[in-house]
Structure 1
Amino acid sequence: MSYRVAKASQYLAITGGGITDIKLAKKSWVFPWQSCTVFDVSPVNYTFEVQAMSSEKLPFVIPAVFTIGPRVDDPHALLLYAMLMSQHDKHSNHVNELVQGVIEGETRVLVASMTMEEVFKGTKEFKKEVFDKVQLELNQFGLVIYNANVKQLVDVPGHEYFSYLGQKTQMEAANQAKIDVAEAKMKGEVGAKERNGLTIQNAAKIDAESKIISTQRLGEGTKEEIKVKTEVKVFQNEKEALVAKADAALAIQKAALSQNSRVAEVEASKAVALREAELQTKVEKMNALTRTEKLKAEFLSKASVEYETKVQEANWELYNKQKQAEAVLYEKQKQAEAMKAAADAAFYSKQKDAEGLVAMAEAQGKYLKTLLGAVNNDYSSMRDFLMINNGIYQEIAKTNALAIRDLQPKISVWNHGGAEQGMNGGGKGPMNDIAGLYKMLPPVLDTVYEQTGMQPPAWIGTLRGAEPKQSLQAQQHRG
């Protein structure tokens, strides 16, 4: 037994005797029949680089940092976290892979439903969507997201979308700055020329006013008017000449300044136009590149859609062929079942025929066995009876008669006498006909042998010898 105390960021998870499920505590007695595990509840930073793809099939990387820890204010969530940490440390690969799998899965699903422009411009809303969906999955492990920071989106090598977009913005800002500088320079030069002209005009005005004032002051000397009239006239003419000369010089200077100002304005306007043409050329090149990338993306998307359509059509054709094959297979199965049923019926019929033949053979066996028992197991007597009963001798006689009918043979007649006597010397008996038939048999066999050369079968008997035809006939007549 020991008394355990957890640190400020730790909890004790105690199981064993006297505890229904898991007991969470900061300090407690631990008995020998109980087990105690200490787990840390401080948050942990998880840094990921999630590779995702937008709805336009444009891949990019989302660097993200999530601060995740257990929900210490919820006992149920803390219990779930304790069960998760019972066999793993919070820095173990199991926990890292679990959190990373949840974050990457939800982020990829969310990005797949958004365009690249929506992801790039709606960073705050995108971050909130990822936060909500990941938090919903982490609730089942008792974890809560304390902070989530989605960094600047990064291009995947070979797909420099953000790089080109940044270059476009930078070039537009640089071009606008160059245009503003050219406009400011033009305004400065024009303003300087205008200031010089105004200075010359104000000087001429002051000179004219001075002339008027001088003339007025000269007119005041009425006493010396006559005396100095000539001098004044001369002075006036000189002054007028000087004024005319100054006016001519001023006019010439004004014309030169006006010409220079106009030339400067034309040069400035042409320089601005030339610079605008150069910038417009660069802008058109960038627009062409942008349109090229856009067309590539559109054609790629169209090709992907056509590929998916072809795949669906192929799957549908495969499904139809499978169903047709299943229908043919079902029909073949039914035909096989029908053939099997017919074969079974034929087999049953043959089996019944065989059983009938077996029964007939058994009946014949019993019949033969009964006959053999009736003649005291004398096989020869049973054979003779069967041949007589089945008319074998009659068939033999008939066949011989048909065979020799057109040969015109010599006919011999035998008479054994005593036809009226029985086999035992008596009168007519029941076996008299059979005895007469047996008496007639040897001469018949002799006649067959004489005319055809064929010996009788061994079971009938043998002849007395192969004698010449004349002697045999003589013996028959003598008998």
Structure 2
Amino acid sequence: MGIPKYIVAGPSEMLAITGNGISEILLKKKHFLWPLQKCTRLDISPVNYSFEVQAMSAEKLPFFLPAVFTIGPKVLDEANYESLIKYAKLVSNTDKESTHIKDLVKGVIEGETRVLAASMTMEQIFKGTKEFKQEVFDKVQLELNQFGLYIYNANVKQLVDVPGHEYFSYLGQKTQMEAANQAKIDVAEAKKKGEIGAKLRDGETKQNAAKIDAETFIISTRRQGEGKKEEVRVRTEVEIFENQREAEVVEAIAVLAKKKAGWSQTARLAEVEAEKAVEIREAELQMEVEKKKAFAETAKLKAELLSKANVEYDIKVQEANSELYKRQKDAEAALFESQKKAEAQKANADAELYSRQQTANSELYTKQKEAEGLAAVGKAQTVYLGSLLKELNHNYSALRDYLMINNGIYQEIANINAQAVNGMQPKISIWSGADGGQSKGEGGSGLNDVAGVYRMLPPLLQTVHEQTGMNPPAWLGTLPDKSK
């Protein structure tokens, strides 16, 4: 046997030993290499991979994503070299100049980046760069695990436009223009406030002087008016108290009519609103555009006309204040008188409403009591018929016959038949209630009367059956069967 050779790996190396006595691959930092064994030095230091991935968002907008990934073999500890064994298998058949690993890493990163970008909008990618980077990192790491590679660091640079699709460039220009326009507006607004402020201070001085004179006159006039107001108030309150109850009735009717009209109006408005919603939105958008245009033009005109308008304004304000004070006093007197008249009319309406409401309540109470009486009668009849039917063992025929006898239906039928056959030649059965002298020995006139009644029943029932087709109830008797 040959002499073993002792070999040691460098700080960023691992020894991959195969051959005699080793089932697959043995990874060591130092080892005695025996004959029939082969040793390969693995460089386990991480490597930087720079890419510029071209992807496309969900809106079909292309962009470049520059990225730098620091990737190397995954080394945990000497007891767990599973990932490092996968890496050793990957590089065993490649030479030092080969780009096999770089192409593999680039393919994984580009593939996962394109898939993720295609599921997101450009706005989501741009605003959520941190989340986008983390999700790309997780998905790429998941794919590299099967090759024993680990991402030590990943930096995603700023998104870059694809030539011919300058999305980010235009977006930046838009932001710059908006900031410049806002600055111009702020300067014009500050200048306007300065000029207006100076005029306002001068105007306030003059207004305060006029206000003191006006308040002195107001106080003297107010004292005279308060006496007249008190006299009118007392008379009005008496009239309001007398008409208050009558007006309450009118108010209730008015409220009910108003609610009915409101419900009907709501239903119609719902249909119209559904049809006009789209038109209203379009009009609002158009209005916003016109407002922006009008705002720019207004700012220019305000700057030109402000000085002249301020001077005219001061003069007209003084004249308007004097006229306004006079009109206010006239309006206050007219308003007070109108309010009192309105209160009197409201009291009259309330009283009339209350009277009508009481009448309606009385009629409603009468109708309710009539309905309750009918319900009680119906309930009593139901109980009565139920008890009769129960006593007759649910024999509906017997119940019907009993009710007809009890209500005199048979007598009424006889009267109707007599009227119907008046002037005709009907079949008439005649019988006598006399006993023909057969009951002379029966113990008294009382029993004779009872016997006479029982003798009248068979011919009576026979006649009813012949004329109406109805059989007597079973508890009363049966007719003889003529077929026998």
TM-score bracket relative to the smaller structure: 0.3 to 0.5
Decide which structure has the larger Cα Rg and report it. Answer: 1
TM-score normalised over the length of structure 1:
0.41
Query: Relative contact order: is structure 1 or structure 2 higher (C-alpha 8 Å, sep ≥ 6)?
Result: 2
